[in-house]
Amino acid sequence: MIDPVLASRLQFALTTVVHIVFPVMSMGLAPFLVYFTWKEVRTDDPVYPRLRSFWTKVFAVSFAVGTVTGLVLEFEFGTNFAAFSAAAGELFGGPLAVEGMMAFFLEATFLGVFVFGRDRVSDRLYFLSSVFVGLGTWLSAVWILIANSWMQTPRGFEIVRESGQPVVTLVDPVAAYANPRFPWMFVHMQSAAVLSVALFLAGVAAYRVRTGDGDRFWRTTLKAAMVVLLLTAPFQVLHGDSYARHVADTQPQKFAAMEAQYETESHAELHLIAVPTSLDAFADPRAENLFTVSVPSLASALASGGDPSAVVQGLNEFDGSPPVAYVFWSFRLMVALGVWFVALALWGGYRWYQGRLFESDRLHRALTWSSPLGVVAVELGWIVTEVGRQPWVIQGVMRTSDGVSPGLTGTEAALTLAGFTGGYALLLALYGGVVLHLLRRGPPDAADVVDAPAVDAPTAPEEVTTDD
């Protein structure tokens, strides 16, 4: 029978990988919706009400499914990781509770105004509702990543014994919650979400333009997405480089797994390109098993911030190590996709500069095929982050195997894993079907979009006066 620890880890990984798709969509779409709404209330251009109305539907569907799948993750702390919850609930539960009370209610309340209130509130309040919806999605990420960053680099706590069991007690809230990992994770995650949605919008719009839909709606969508892509793609690569240096400082074990560095050495080389020479090399990506294009001393320089002779700790020095292959290949694929996104952004920017943004068939095909790759890069980054800190659920404090519910059996864990696998596959299919239906149906006609709030309508006072 399957090990309950392995089954619980697989289940949490599955539910997280599926869940993260929806927050990425809502967090990434939020800035676009704020911009479209601002243009709608400040100009008479009829394309912006259509843009706001259409992409709000995709946002609302993503928000609804993300809420459901996010709640499941919190339940799993009780069903599968009760020992972790009992030990660290005092510290870990606080940010999650604040996320629910602050961010979720802010987002949910103003989403109601944003979806149904265009003809019921003033322009100013309607625009503010788009801002508060976006703020709610980003505040959710703040509190979730505060909790997660504490698990990566725990601070501000002490271990005490209660009824013979170790319990994590909060002693310094500032140190715990203003964690040094948090700003790195938050900036990288939010930039990745916006970049992913920019790729998605650019890909969809490029497909519609390439297949002959000359509607200004899709041309405006493509231009807005290209601007965001030009801003976020280079920034994400530069920020990722600095983030990796921070990981080397605070989680050298994870950094060693990212480079499959087993021995401690100075002048450690970095493999720019790594290709396995056999199937076994996928599972054990040591340098001798790979065809590599490497730069001597670059891993040392990257880890130290510029010193090519710096010592990089190898995995053999640590008490346990993560599954190296998952971290090594995920990191490389993520970096490769990041470089591709920069090339794609520069390509599109150059065509735009030439005045051929809507006439480049190859660019449109590349954007279309790349539209889901931003989300793929997010998934790969999440694998590096979460698998890379194994075998620890709280880095250096509690092993994942010690955090699993003590009474959980392999049969129970396997059954719930099977149930979630089937349920989430169905959920993903339904979500994909709904979004695909919206994309195929296309944007509403200008006449079908409410373009002015009723409170500003000039006819209402005149009708009242006449009746009197």
> What are 25-70's pLDDT values in tens digits?
999 999 999 999 999 999 989 999 999 999 999 999 999 999 889 8
Single-letter residue type at 221: T
For residues 13, 19, 23, 24, the Cα torsion angle rounded to the nearest 10 degrees is 60
Alpha helices in 179-292 (DSSP H): 182-210, 216-250, 252-259, 279-283
Tokens of 199: 């790729």
- The answer, yes or no, to whether residue 93 has pLDDT greater than 60, is yes
Angle between helices 252-259 and 324-353 (to 10 degrees): 70
- Percentage helix, strand, coil for the chain under 3-state DSSP, each rounded to 5: 70, 5, 20
Q: What is the DSSP letter of 186?
A: H
CB 7 within 8 A of CB 409: no
Positive or negative: CA dihedral 428, 434, 440, 443: negative
Sequence letter at residue 23: P
Question: Which residues lie below 8 Å from residue 4, measured CB to CB, with a gap of 6+?
Answer: 404, 405, 408, 409, 410, 412, 413
Rounded to an integer, the average pLDDT of 87-98 is 87
Omega before 391 within 30 of 0, i.e. cis: yes
Burial of 150-165, coded b for 16+ CB within 10 Å and e otherwise, reads bbbbbbbbeeeeeeee
Predicted pLDDT at 455: 52
Residue-wise pLDDT tens digits, 105-158? 888 889 999 999 888 899 999 999 999 999 999 999 999 999 999 999 999 999
Higher pLDDT, 93 or 205: 205
What's the mean pLDDT when you consider all of the chain? 89
- Whether the CB-CB separation of 56 and 113 falls below 8 Å is answered with no
Query: What does each C-alpha distance from 347 to 353, 363, 375, 411 come to in angstroms?
Result: 10, 7, 21, 52
The H or E element that residue 331 is part of is helix 324-353
In the prediction, which pLDDT does 466 show? 39
Q: CB of 169 within 8 A of CB of 90?
A: yes
Q: Which of 71, 37, 31 is nearest to 52 (CA)?
A: 37
pLDDT band at 454 (very low <50, low <70, confident <90, very high): low
Tokens 């009708």 -> residue: 463
- pTM exceeds 0.85: yes
pLDDT tens digits for range 148-206: 999 999 999 998 888 878 899 999 999 999 999 999 999 999 999 999 999 999 999 99
Q: Is 355 left (phi over 0), alpha (psi -120 to 50) or beta?
A: left
- pLDDT at residue 464 above 70? no
Whether 239 has a pLDDT exceeding 50, the answer reads yes
- pLDDT for position 458: 45
Distance CA 251, CA 262 (A): 15
Q: Is the pLDDT of residue 467 over 50?
A: no
User: Is 459's pLDDT higher than 60?
Assistant: no
274: left (phi over 0), alpha (psi -120 to 50) or beta: beta
